[in-house]
């Protein structure tokens, strides 16, 4: 077992999930997005960030807007979100810098490498680690998901399934909804792939509240959501 040490904090050198959501936070910041503290996903990084937040007093620095130290340095502010670096986090995940991933967009795929480790902290919105990518080939459309190993996705639209899936989503009993529908963009191993995103929320914060990526299996006309990751840009915890 390999351990990376920084400021007496340890993080196991863990494997990333097989499929990782990719989001565009600005024209300059696109990357693999590891959502924190909202689900069972990424338990190692969740525990690790909790320890960093305590040892480096990240929430105190955030509330005081003290963004000029190695513990919390402001890199970029978009319409709603702020991206930071934290030395402990960057040092511990440095083994990911330069790693190449397959990036799948609306129309195809390309390769890109991780260039920087960023962190988003917010009391109301989704918190996440951003594995920022180098340049993305624009021919693939907006980037959606990433994998370390190449998978054969059949890129297409299926308007019938898309309509039925949106009807299914609308029928679910939820407290918060979005006006942005889910779009079918491909198939992989009998799974249907969807995204809900207008890719404008880094400019207009009201245009999309809950961008997401989903992998769905259909059996007997029932939609079974096997994998889903999204962002809360509305701020449910503070509502």
| Least confident range of 9-23, 75-89, 186-200, 222-236 | 9-23
Last residue within a domain, chosen from 97, 112, 147: 147
HEC string of the chain equals CCEEEECCEEEECCCCCCCEEEEECCCCCEEEEEEECCCCCCHHHHHHHHHHHHHCCHHHHHHCCCCECCCCEEEEECCCCEEEECHHHHHHCHHHCCCEEEEEECCCEEEEEEEEEEEECCCCCCEEEEEEECCCCHHHCCEEEEECCCCCCEECCCHHHHHHHHHHHHHCCCCCCCCCCCEEEEEECCEEEEEECCCCCCCCCCCCCCCEEEEEEEECCEEEEEEEEECCCCCHHHC
Handedness of CA 52, 53, 54, 60 (dihedral sign): positive
Last residue within a domain, chosen from 107, 126, 147: 147
Mean pLDDT of 202-206: 84
Q: Report pLDDT digits (tens) over 34-72.
A: 999 876 666 778 888 999 999 999 999 999 999 989 999
Predicted confidence band of residue 207 (pLDDT cuts 50, 70, 90): confident
Same domain for 119 and 196: no
Same domain for 215 and 174: yes
Predicted confidence band of residue 1 (pLDDT cuts 50, 70, 90): very low
Query: What's the pLDDT at 136?
Result: 94
| 4: pLDDT strictly greater than 50 | no
Domain span at residue 233 reads: 154-238
Same domain for 15 and 95: yes
| 7: pLDDT strictly greater than 80 | no
Number of domains in the chain: 2
Query: What's the pLDDT at 15?
Result: 62
Same domain for 158 and 123: no
């Amino acid at each position: 077992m390999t351990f990376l040490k920084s400021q007496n904090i340890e993080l196991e050198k863990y494997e990333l999930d097989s499929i990782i959501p990719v989001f565009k936070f600005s024209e300059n910041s696109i990357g693999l997005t590891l959502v924190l503290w909202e689900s069972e996903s990424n338990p190692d990084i969740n525990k690790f960030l909790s320890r960093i937040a305590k040892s480096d007093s990240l929430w105190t620095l955030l509330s005081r807007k003290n963004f000029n130290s190695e513990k919390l340095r402001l890199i970029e502010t978009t319409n709603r979100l702020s991206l930071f670096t934290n030395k402990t986090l960057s040092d511990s995940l440095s083994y990911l810098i330069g790693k190449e991933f397959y990036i799948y967009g609306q129309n195809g795929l390309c390769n890109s490498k991780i260039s920087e480790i960023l962190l988003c902290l917010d009391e109301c919105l989704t918190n996440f680690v951003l594995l920022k990518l180098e340049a993305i080939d624009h021919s693939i459309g907006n980037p959606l998901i990433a994998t370390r190993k190449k998978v054969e996705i059949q890129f297409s639209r299926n308007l019938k399934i898309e309509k039925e899936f949106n009807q299914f989503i609308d029928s679910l009993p939820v407290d918060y909804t979005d006006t942005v529908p889910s779009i079918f963009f491909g198939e992989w191993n009998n799974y249907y792939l969807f995204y809900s995103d207008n890719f404008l929320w880094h400019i207009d914060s009201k245009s999309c509240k809950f961008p997401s990526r989903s992998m769905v299996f259909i059996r007997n006309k029932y939609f079974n959501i096997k994998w889903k990751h999204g962002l809360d840009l509305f701020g449910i915890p503070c509502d």
